[in-house]
Amino acid sequence: MNPKKRAFLEVRVNKLRRDIVLMLSESSSGHPGGSLSAIDVIAYLFFEVMKFDSANPYWEERDRFILSKGHAAPALYAVLAAVNFFPKKLLKTLRKLGSPLQGHPDSRKLPGLDSSTGSLGQGLSIAGGIALAGKMDKKDYSVFVLAGDGEIQEGQIWEAAMAIPHFELDNVCLFVDNNELQIDGLVSDVMSVYPIAEKFASFNWNTMEINGHKFDEIEKAVEFFVSNRGSKKPTVIISHTIKGKCVSFMENKCEWHGAAPTKDEAIKAIEELGCVESLENWLEEK
């Protein structure tokens, strides 16, 4: 990746981390840990990869994105605002009564969402159905899915993992946000899902493992997926990440799975992110 592009993405995504922290502090509820671990992948897909038209959210030729780990909605909302699906001022309404920015994505209320999610384990099945429809309609779109490593303990994930290769849906690319933690502790202690890549490979998926915080590696993962379009096999990218990434007191702490920062904690996080100067006017920022 061009170093200038990498540097630009790093600065831009750092501001999205700020948005996530401030949204959650404002709402006094939500899920920071998994939002901060997943933001690099989500942002890269929307900024650099996916075909879409924010002025025409239901454009039939668009690529689709399914946030299967729906509790990471703040990350997706921050990105959707950044690419102009809705005014950034809405971010301040996260989880508020009547807001289209619900605690989990509601596609009936917010443009840019291809599916409502939140009940863990369902997103990959939804993606499979959308991908199959695309094949039947002779559409060339891709379907990207982001699932959590704790989420793939769900049996429905593996039913979908079996069905998607059966129907030769090489237009599906699944990213597993492998931050190793879930609400009750280490994934390996609660119910081990390892080895993830080998399990998917046994279901006839193309597999790759990356550092999910390095844009060079995310770029290579997307290239790997694109190169395998036509292989009749879907692709899974095991994205090794850090829960609570870039906020020192949240990193690798399962306690921050579903606990929103207080105002003082948010300010401390913003200081670490180097975004203090934008604390007061963050919603007006272009």
**What's the CATH code of the domain at 231?**
3.40.50.970
Q: Provide the domain count of the chain.
A: 1
Mean pLDDT of 19-27: 96
Q: Is the peptide bond before 100 cis (omega within 30 degrees of 0)?
A: no
pLDDT in tens, 231-272: 999 999 999 999 999 999 999 999 999 999 999 999 999 999
Instruction: Please report which confidence band the pLDDT of residue 279 belongs to, taking 50, 70 and 90 as the band edges.
Output: low
| Cβ proximity of 194 and 188 under 8 Å | yes
Greatest Cα-to-Cα distance within the chain, rounded to the nearest angstrom: 52
Q: For residue 182, which of 110, 106, 257 has the smallest C-alpha distance?
A: 257
Range of the domain at 183: 3-284
pTM: 0.96
**Pick from 13-22, 133-142, 190-199, 266-275: least confident:** 266-275
286 pLDDT band, cuts 50/70/90, is very low
Which pLDDT does position 274 carry in this prediction?
A: 87
Name the residue with tokens 């998917």.
200
Given a contact cutoff of 8 angstroms between Cβ atoms, the answer to whether 19 and 94 are in contact is no
Cα–Cα dist 44/31, whole Å: 21
pLDDT tens-digit profile of 42-65?
A: 999 999 999 999 999 999 999 999
Q: Please list, in sequence order, all residues whose beta carbon lies within 8 angstroms of the beta carbon of residue 115, skipping any fewer than 6 positions away.
A: 66, 105, 107, 123, 126, 130
Distance of alpha carbon 80 from alpha carbon 92, whole angstroms: 14
For tokens 């840019």, name the residue. 112
pLDDT digits (tens, 9 = 90+) for 155-183: 999 999 999 999 999 999 999 999 999 99
